[in-house]
Amino acid sequence: AIHAVFLLASPGKPLEEVMLDRIERDLGDSEKSREILEEQRRRLREIRDSSADFLVIDGRRTFVGGMRERLRHDPIAALKRVSCGIVILQGAEDREVGPDNAERLAEAGKNAIVGRFDSLDHGFRKDGAPDLDFLDFLARTAGKVLAK
């Protein structure tokens, strides 16, 4: 039996949206970047909607079966089906998955515990080093949740 689900720096939206947000953030706002973003959006849609495990991308036969399943996964819908305890942990300085994702996930889950850690990044590090307070919180929370 599953006693708990732990989500560490998890996106509260489908991977396709996460990827497009990152591309948009990294490229900035210009005519060329909008063209690139639209091309990536088209490619991701093609992969997501395909039933084939291989597609020709940039002239190469490329395995897309695993990516297709990841693009189709909706974390909010999945959490709504979870009946055990949910622990959502998020670094406040996470540039990959913003703190608003933790709130979105918590709203979808039942009995969710949210731990937000000031000054920690996506890997729950502070200034590049593991944060001992985070690791202590994780251990204590895991013990409590799994003891139920």
Predicted confidence at residue 146, as pLDDT, reads: 75
Task: At 145, list the tokens.
Answer: 């949740």
Report how far residue 60's alpha carbon sits from residue 120's, in angstroms, rounded to the nearest whole number: 40
Task: At 101, list the tokens.
Answer: 């994702």
Length of the chain in terms of residues written: 148
Angle at which helices 15-27 and 65-72 pack, to 10 degrees?
90
- Read off the pLDDT of residues 52-99 as tens digits, 9 standing for 90 and up: 999 999 999 999 999 998 999 999 999 999 988 899 999 999 988 888
What predicted TM-score, i.e. pTM, was given to this entire model? 0.79
3-class secondary-structure state, position 20: helix
